[in-house]
Amino acid sequence: MVRPREFDEQQALSAAMQVFWEKGYEATSISDLTTRMGIQRPSLYAAFGGKKELFETVLHKYTQISLTYIENLLSRAPSAREAVRIYLQGIIEGGGGRQTNLGCLCINTMVELAPHDQSFAHLTKDYQLRITELLRQTIEDGIRKGELASGLNAVAIARALTVSAVGLAVTMKSAPEHAYVENAVTELLTLLV
């Protein structure tokens, strides 16, 4: 009813996302966050609860954005194979607000926090399953349209590609040779033949 927030919550969340993305959860301090979010300490606690709660909110926002982005990417592609190629290529080149060598926030979280926190294990696993589901639909559409061989096991391929996409996102963090990852992607696409 009185005195509205002076900062935009979504904008602050985006800033927090950037910081967690760059530094990881443990290495990010509250001071890092308040500086980049442009707000004061007590405001952070009042608006977002605390470091862990803020991170959960940030991660949730990230998965929403990321999955929507991937869904659009896949559905707008001219063919099933192109869809998968564009998706994997995007991981290499960092499309959709990604910075290549920072990988995927959700995958980073899977590595850092999933083994120690059940809720993060569940959240990150769920993210991965949703990607698999999107890929499965893309592949099945391709089969239905006659672009892909009817004998393909859409579920198995979607799972293999998801695992590979995770590996690709992680590999990017070590700044690999361009030819290395391009080559891997090309080979992975033969799963669709």
Binding site for DNA (CB under 7 A): 1-7, 28-32, 39-43, 45-47, 50-52
Q: Is 27 helix (H, G, I), strand (E, B) or coil?
A: coil
State the Cα–Cα distance between residues 94 and 189, nearest whole angstrom: 19
Closer CB to a second copy, residue 27 or residue 30? 27
Q: With binding defined as CB under 8 A, does residue 65 bind a second copy?
A: no
Name the segment binding a second copy (CB under 8 A); options: 1-9, 30-38, 55-63, 180-188.
180-188
Q: What is the spatial distance between Cα 142 and Cα 77, in angstroms, rounded to a whole number?
A: 11
How would you label 97-113 residue by residue, b for 16+ Cβ within 10 Å and e otherwise? Answer: ebebebbbbbbbbbebb
The Cα–Cα gap between 45 and 157 comes to: 44
Considering only residues 15 to 44 of the shown chain, the ones binding a second copy according to CB under 8 A are 22-24, 26-27
Stretch of 3-11, 47-55, 63-71, 116-124 contacting a second copy, by CB under 8 A: 116-124
Distance of CA 103 to the CA centre of its chain: 8
Rounded Cα–Cα distance for residues 185 and 19 (Å): 29
Applying CB under 8 A, the residues found at the interface with a second copy are: 22-24, 26-27, 101-103, 107-108, 110-112, 114-116, 121-122, 124-125, 128, 132, 153, 155-157, 159-160, 162-168, 170-171, 173-176, 180-181, 183-188, 190-191
